[in-house]
A and B are shown apart, each in its own frame.
Chain A
Amino acid sequence: MRRIVIALFLVGLLCAAFYTIYYMNTIYQTTSTSLSDLDVEATTYRVALISPELRNSYWNSVYEGAQTTAQEHDVTIHYWGSYRSNVEHILKNMEIAIASKVDGIIVMGIDDPGFLTLVNKATKKGIPVITISVDAPDTLRKAYVGSDHYHAGIVIGHQLAKAVNGQGKVGMIIGNESAGYLKQRLDGFIKGISRYPEVELVDVSPEDISSNQASLKTQEILNQHPNAKAFVGLSADDGAEIVKAIQKRSKVEDYYIYTFDDTQETLSLLKKGLIDGTLTHSPKQMGERSVSLIVQWLEGRELPLKTNHFTPIQLMTKGDEGNHENNSK
């Protein structure tokens, strides 16, 4: 009996001792790993990348590209923006960037007087501004990195003209004509179809429609020109709108629809065969390029910078979807 008690007691003691030592050890371990106030390396360059749409896969690619170059050159990218295109928010972010005295700003060009003021203010304060994806040539921006919209217009123009066999009416859907890049696309497009005189570009005058919405425009065009076989949508979501409008009346597949952008929706429409072709851009390259340009400017190499840095665009028609990098999302 006695022996059992002694044995139990010893076991208990061993247990207790073991746990004590175990916890001692744990505590010792954890105290040695504490957050080190790291010695920060020499201050890196801070570059603000201001995006109109943060959750966008296109802009995510831009950010990705920017980050890749940034890491090579010891640059910190501040990725700011709004979740829904909001001019005021973009302007505010720019102001913050300027107040924070960042080393460079990469922003999408906006057709807005406030934007112009801010870009010039930044430039005056010695902060280089680079426009990305859409240019703002009136401002004192140092360079533009993005697709060549004029050339894009030409490509689409050619393609569409070929598709309609060199003759027919093409409904033109354009948002805000004043937006510079849209105008460029339009000019390019006109140039593109100029070789095919039988191809006629039709539009409706603004008084005939209640709003500038693409679908309404499409409807009106169809009303006025019932034999129009093709449509070209110059702004981003025009494709979807055009399809919507046509679907109400007739089969979409009979129409030749071309757009200029590679948004998710546009691509899925292309996949379904509802639109016939669009362009893909290279946002990642834009990101990379713009950051390296900023660095170049900051390091004072080969100044002044070349103004236009065009990134590749690619025509995508039905059947090409597999090749596109953004497709998998």
Chain B
Amino acid sequence: MGSFWMTISYYNQQSVSKYNDILQRYLKLNETITASQDSITRLNDYLATPSSEKLDQYTISKNEMVRSKVSMLSLENQNNDAILQNYAHMLESQIETMDLAIMSYHRGKEDSMTEHFNESIRISQFISETTLSLLSAEVKSYETLYIQMIEQSANLRKLGGWALVTVFMILLIFSYWFSRGITRPISRLTLAAREIAQGKFDQKIEIHTKDEISFLAATFNQMRENIKELIMEIKKKAQLEKELQENQLLLRESELKSLQTQINPHFLFNTLNTLSKKAYLEGADETSELIATVAGLFRYNLRKLDRPVTLSDEVHVIENYFLILQARFSDRFSYQLDMDEECLDIKIPSLILQPFVENAFIHALEPLEEGGGIIVRAINKEDHVLVQIEDDGIGMSEEKIRAILDETPSTTTKVSGHSTGIGLNNAIRRLKLFYQSEDVITIDSALGKGTLVTLKLYKGKKIRREQLG
């Protein structure tokens, strides 16, 4: 901007100096006339009343003329060349005639003195007149220049005005741009804050200016991420809590149920033992064994239910159960155990198998007049053990299968004379919780075709890390 104004003033300066030059020329011309007229006057003075000072004065004047003649010639240009020559020569002529006049005077020739003097006067007049034509020649040659200069000044003014406007607008743009550069990140930050306040934690804020605002934005982002993580953690914990509570609830349920059957369990237990011994002493070995089995069942049920047990323990219990059933129903009931020895050590929640076996017996076999059989298998797979409870009973309908799998509280929880009371639902739910998986049970059945319940028991780390309870 500064350099711009400098160029303008430079051009201005140029115009002024050109004007100056032209004026100088006019002044020079004027000087010449003055010199010419002056010398005539001085000469006249001298001739009228001669004295050496006057002669000197005349000489000074004359030299002035000579000087101005020389400076005149510097004014030469295209248009005035010839006229200028004439002019210069006229000055010469005047000087000559004046000198001749003086010479004649000194020789005492009055006539020729007067003649020459008059001639010099006339020449001086010619010079004045010619100056006019010289001036007009000057004006003509500089006419176009004058017009140009005036145009130039006008243009300069217009240029200045427009430059001002342009610069003004550019400044406006710049200041707008700068301020936007500052306010835009801030507004973005505000927007992001509002979004976070509304609970959306996923929008990442993008601010790339290298200043404090971007620092703010970065920390803001971090805060957002942290909040997101924390919320996730809280959610997870809440989930955990929920499951925990559910598990506890279930356990309580089963405990309660089992407690229902524990009316002074130790008294019953001891009484059964006594009865078993008495039967044995009276020679009823079978009865004694049966009573011992029942006692065993009771003992098993008395224990704490929340500890995981091994598969072999459960199988024992099943065996006891089967024994009892066989004693009651002899022909109508048969059973078979097909266990893979290696997998018996895995940990499973307690009282899992029994409900299924019970269920199989009550709903599948009992209704049949001829009865049926139950096969329990344990198949060792790589990462899990498949336990199958198969019966050849009446089977169950699709609806029933779905009802069981969906854990809808229905007839399975009805306490009847044949069940220890812990329902399928409970067992299934506990299985799911224990193994943290939904994929723990499948039921294959069709009406009249028997039922196959397959339990998937995972080995290893899928089990819940802490003990339930």
Contacts and interface: CB of A to CB of B under 8 A. Distances in A.
Nearest to A121: B119
Nearest to B141: A35
Interface stretch (B74-82, B224-232, B329-337, B428-436): B74-82
B126 A99 contact: yes
Interface stretch (A25-33, A252-260, A308-316): A25-33
Residue from A12, A26, A100 whose CB has the most chain B CB atoms within 10 Å: A100
Interface string B68-95: 0000000011100110011101101110
B77 A37 contact: yes
A16 interface: yes
B349 to A, nearest CB: 69
A82 interface: no
Nearest to A34: B145
Interface in B138-176: 141-142, 144-145, 148, 151-152, 155-156, 158-159, 162-163, 165-166, 169-170, 172-173
A30 B126 contact: no
A20 B169 contact: no
Contacts of A96: 86, 90, 126, 130
Interface string B166-191: 10011011000000000000000000
Interface residues on A, range: 20 to 34
Interface stretch (A38-46, A206-214, A215-223): A38-46
Interface string A70-102: 000000101000000000000000011011111
Residue from B85, B87, B92 whose CB has the most chain A CB atoms within 10 Å: B85
A7 interface: no
Interface residues on B, range: 35 or more
A185 to B, nearest CB: 36
A187 to B, nearest CB: 38
A100 B169 contact: no
A24 B152 CA distance: 10
A99 B169 contact: no
A101 B162 CA distance: 56
A102 B130 CA distance: 14
Contacts of B136: none
Given A13-B166, A13-B169, A31-B14, A23 B155 contact: yes
Given A30-B155, A40-B81, A43-B85, A16 B162 contact: yes
A30 B144 CA distance: 11
Contacts of A44: 81-82
Contacts of B144: 35
Given A27-B11, A35-B144, A78-B82, 8 more contacts: A13-B173, A17-B166, A27-B159, A34-B145, A38-B78, A40-B81, A99-B93, A101-B93
